[in-house]
């Protein structure tokens, strides 16, 4: 990505904030950064505990702003976020899985030692490649095909509940919410259960590697875990490729690779084998945890649902809206563009609660 500077940071060509002792940082367009934007840090407690509340002032006063601490433009208002996600040409998803915290050379050497070669996946590829692959690989995600798994998932949940119901108490996260999504994801993909233990162990490391702010020392251990995760995923994939007659989405993808290697190349299979395990496991586990925390913190709503289970679908939708597990996502501007009254320069990366980011001089 190339760093591009602009004299103007607003649609009107004037900077909305004037320099002062309290506001000395400049955005990539040369405009002073507001004191609130200069202090914004998504790794601080307020954002970690309640992202929506932490962004309330920005939604009302400065919906698109440059964050010096993140080195990204932050987009906080619903309509602006929607505009970013609906335009995947102007706002490319190519940076969605880049590391927020650059890895030290020692960590990169560790990953190289494991043959780590993560490439494009469904969430960070541009058109026309993205749509060509979706047409071949998305049938299993259609609602009517996902419904076929419902009876088995219900049986699995009941089995987990039976394990602790007689105790009268449970660690829902440890005993249920972290376990079930991985089990369901593995079955959906066609991965044998005996491989689950290793994959569970390493999946968190991939999330920290991409979205976290680990110290240089922590990055070394994370690199070891990510490398082992990659290697384990590749070993499983090799077994599946040797006999692609099994059932599951990865088997479907392997068969599509054999028929259309130009659209579904081997590098795509290898990257997706790892990425989809994280996506299916982490996001579902966290979304479920957030939903129960939200409802149990609002006992009147919880009691209403217990008395009337017909409210469950609406409650799920509301929990996903108010306390979803993905509280930020990223895009990069492919051309100078206007958003929320601000100029986002070409190469500007954005993080959405949003996001569209700031131009960097190099690709991480």
Q: Classify the C-alpha dihedral 262-267-273-274 as positive or negative.
A: negative
With respect to residue 339, please indicate whether it lies within any of the assigned structural domains: no
What pLDDT does residue 3 have?
A: 23
With respect to residue 340, please indicate whether it lies within any of the assigned structural domains: no
Q: Are both 306 and 167 inside the same structural domain?
A: yes
With respect to residue 265, please indicate whether it lies within any of the assigned structural domains: yes
Q: What is the DSSP letter of 335?
A: S
pLDDT in tens, 82-128: 999 999 899 999 988 888 888 899 999 999 999 999 888 888 888 88
Q: Are both 44 and 186 inside the same structural domain?
A: no
d(CA 119, CA 276): 13
Q: Are both 351 and 276 inside the same structural domain?
A: no
Q: What is the mean pLDDT of residues 35-59?
A: 91
Separate counts of helices (H) and strands (E) for the chain:
17, 8
Q: Are both 110 and 158 inside the same structural domain?
A: yes
pLDDT at 11 over 50: no
pLDDT in tens, 220-245: 998 999 999 899 899 999 999 999 99
SS3 of residue 123 by DSSP: coil
Q: Are both 1 and 109 inside the same structural domain?
A: no
Q: What is the mean pLDDT of residues 14-35?
A: 72
Q: Are both 44 and 143 inside the same structural domain?
A: no
Residue with tokens 């586990």: 285
Residue 351: pLDDT band with limits 50, 70, 90: low
d(CA 79, CA 87): 12
What pLDDT does residue 14 have?
A: 58
What is the tally of structural domains in the chain? 2
Q: Are both 350 and 287 inside the same structural domain?
A: no
pLDDT at 300 over 80: yes
What are the residues whose beta carbons fall under 8 Å from the beta carbon of 342, sequence distance 6 or more?
9, 10, 11, 29, 64, 65, 73
72, β-bridge pairs? 67, 357
> Containing domain of residue 176, as a range?
105-329
What pLDDT does residue 8 have?
A: 34
Q: What is the mean pLDDT of residues 144-169?
A: 91
Most confident of 118-127, 207-216, 297-306: 297-306
Q: Are both 162 and 295 inside the same structural domain?
A: yes
The whole-model pTM stands at 0.81
pLDDT at 336 over 60: yes
What pLDDT does residue 115 have?
A: 93
d(CA 159, CA 184): 13
d(CA 349, CA 119): 19
Q: Are both 133 and 234 inside the same structural domain?
A: yes
Residue 102 has which token pair? Answer: 């650059």
Q: What is the mean pLDDT of residues 300-317?
A: 96
Percent of the chain whose predicted confidence (pLDDT) is above 90? 50
Q: Are both 88 and 109 inside the same structural domain?
A: no
With respect to residue 99, please indicate whether it lies within any of the assigned structural domains: no
């Amino acid at each position: 990505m190339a760093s591009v500077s602009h004299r103007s940071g607003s649609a009107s060509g004037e900077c909305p904030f004037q320099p002062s002792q309290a506001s000395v940082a400049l955005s990539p367009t040369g405009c002073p950064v507001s004191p609130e934007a200069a202090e914004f840090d998504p790794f601080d407690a307020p954002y970690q505990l309640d992202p929506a509340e932490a962004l309330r002032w920005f939604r009302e006063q400065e919906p698109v702003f440059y964050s010096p601490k993140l080195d990204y433009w932050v987009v906080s208002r619903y309509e602006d976020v929607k505009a970013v996600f609906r335009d995947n040409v102007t706002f490319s998803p190519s940076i969605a899985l880049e590391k927020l915290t650059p890895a030290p050379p020692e960590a990169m050497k560790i990953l190289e030692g494991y043959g780590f070669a993560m490439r494009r996946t469904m969430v960070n590829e541009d058109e026309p490649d993205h749509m060509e692959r979706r047409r071949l690989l998305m049938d299993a995600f259609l609602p009517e095909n996902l419904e076929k798994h419902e009876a088995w998932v219900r049986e699995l949940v009941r089995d987990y509940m039976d394990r602790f119901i007689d105790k009268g108490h449970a660690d829902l996260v440890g005993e249920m919410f972290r376990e079930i999504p991985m089990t369901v994801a593995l079955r959906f993909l066609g991965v044998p259960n005996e491989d689950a233990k290793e994959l569970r162990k390493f999946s968190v490391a991939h999330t920290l590697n991409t979205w976290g702010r680990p110290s240089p020392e922590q990055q070394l251990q994370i690199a070891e875990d990510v490398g082992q995760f990659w290697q384990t995923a590749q070993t499983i994939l090799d077994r599946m490729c040797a006999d692609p007659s099994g059932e599951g989405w990865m088997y479907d993808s392997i068969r599509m690779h054999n028929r259309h290697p130009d659209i579904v190349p081997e590098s795509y299979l290898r990257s997706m084998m790892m990425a989809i395990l994280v996506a299916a496991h982490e996001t579902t586990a966290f979304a479920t945890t957030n939903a129960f925390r939200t409802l149990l913190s609002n006992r009147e709503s919880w009691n209403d649902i217990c008395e009337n289970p017909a409210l469950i679908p609406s409650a799920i939708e509301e929990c996903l809206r108010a306390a979803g597990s993905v509280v930020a996502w990223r895009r990069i501007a492919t051309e100078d563009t206007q958003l929320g009254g601000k100029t986002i320069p070409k190469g500007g990366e954005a993080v959405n609660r949003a996001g569209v980011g700031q131009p960097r001089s190099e690709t991480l």
